[in-house]
Amino acid sequence: MTDFSLIETLRYEPQVGFVRLRLHLARLVRSARRLGIAGSGGAQAALLAAVDAAAGNAGTALRVRLELFPDGHIEVKTAPFAPLPEDTVWRARIATVRLKSNDPLLRYKTSRRATYEAARNEFAASEADEVLLLNERDEVCEGTITSVFLDDGSGLLKTPPIACGLLAGVLRTELICQRRARVARLSRDDLVRGNLYVGNSLRGLIRVNLLV
């Protein structure tokens, strides 16, 4: 499998550094090892070098995208990042395209984005801020760029298990480790039985209004 690269997208805060850096690096190293891709050991140095090169953005939060290619070389791109206001509510819709729960590459963050792009393209930007995907059993998996979380009033957020066919998101991992979330299979109907959120490491948790 050499027709894709591994990707990590991080947030850099001038007074904090890289947010969730340890979890991002651990996921990259684990993914590279399992897929037989060399070079992950140089990721942290590449990230630091890219931030140093972006010194003109001093005092500005950055979106940092690292890409590890099959031949082991790393590219890092940075751009200014503006956090969403705390009261942001995204509009979400459900795609007709389905994920296959037995596709092993769904567990990794790769450049293979065709299914996610197809889901996103089902709706205009004016119709949805995020699009959620289900698998062949109509179980909730994830958004095109986010993990899914449901607050059903139990005190813990529920998020779909990896076995449904989805990425082990860094924010998702952190919330599970902090015991703020637990895995649970979710149906389309479950999504309207509580407060729905999506999130990723770059933007954090975002409240969602599901449009059906």
Domain-embedded: residue 40? yes
Q: Say how many domains are in the chain.
A: 2
Q: Enter the pTM of the model.
A: 0.94
Tell me the pLDDT tens digit for each residue of 19-70: 999 999 999 999 999 999 999 999 999 999 999 988 776 678 999 999 999 9
- Choosing from 80, 115, 137, the residue where a domain stops is 80
What confidence category does residue 1 fall into, taking pLDDT thresholds of 50, 70 and 90?
low
Tell me the pLDDT tens digit for each residue of 69-128: 999 999 999 999 999 999 999 999 999 999 999 999 999 999 999 999 999 999 999 999
Whether 192 and 107 map to the same domain: the answer is yes
- Choosing from 49, 80, 111, the residue where a domain stops is 80
Whether 62 and 97 map to the same domain: the answer is no
Domain-embedded: residue 1? no
* CATH code, domain carrying 69: 3.30.470.10
Q: Supply the range of the domain harboring residue 50.
A: 6-80
Whether 47 and 139 map to the same domain: the answer is no
* CATH code, domain carrying 125: 3.20.10.10
Specify whether the CB–CB gap between 74 and 45 falls below 8 A: no
CA nearest 65: which of 56, 74, 52, 55?
74
Whether 75 and 98 map to the same domain: the answer is no
Domain-embedded: residue 171? yes
How much is the pLDDT for 57? 66
Residue matched to tokens 């590890």? 68
Whether the pLDDT of residue 132 is over 80: the answer is yes
Tell me the pLDDT tens digit for each residue of 156-204: 999 999 999 999 999 999 999 999 999 999 999 999 999 999 999 999 9
How much is the pLDDT for 6? 98
- Choosing from 45, 80, 115, the residue where a domain stops is 80
Instruction: Supply 111's token pair.
Output: 């450049």
Instruction: State the DSSP string of 136-199.
Output: TTSBEEEESSSEEEEE-SSSSEEE--GGGT----HHHHHHHHTTSEEE---BTGGGGSSEEEEE
**CB atoms closer than 10 angstroms to residue 58:** 7
Whether 69 and 169 map to the same domain: the answer is no
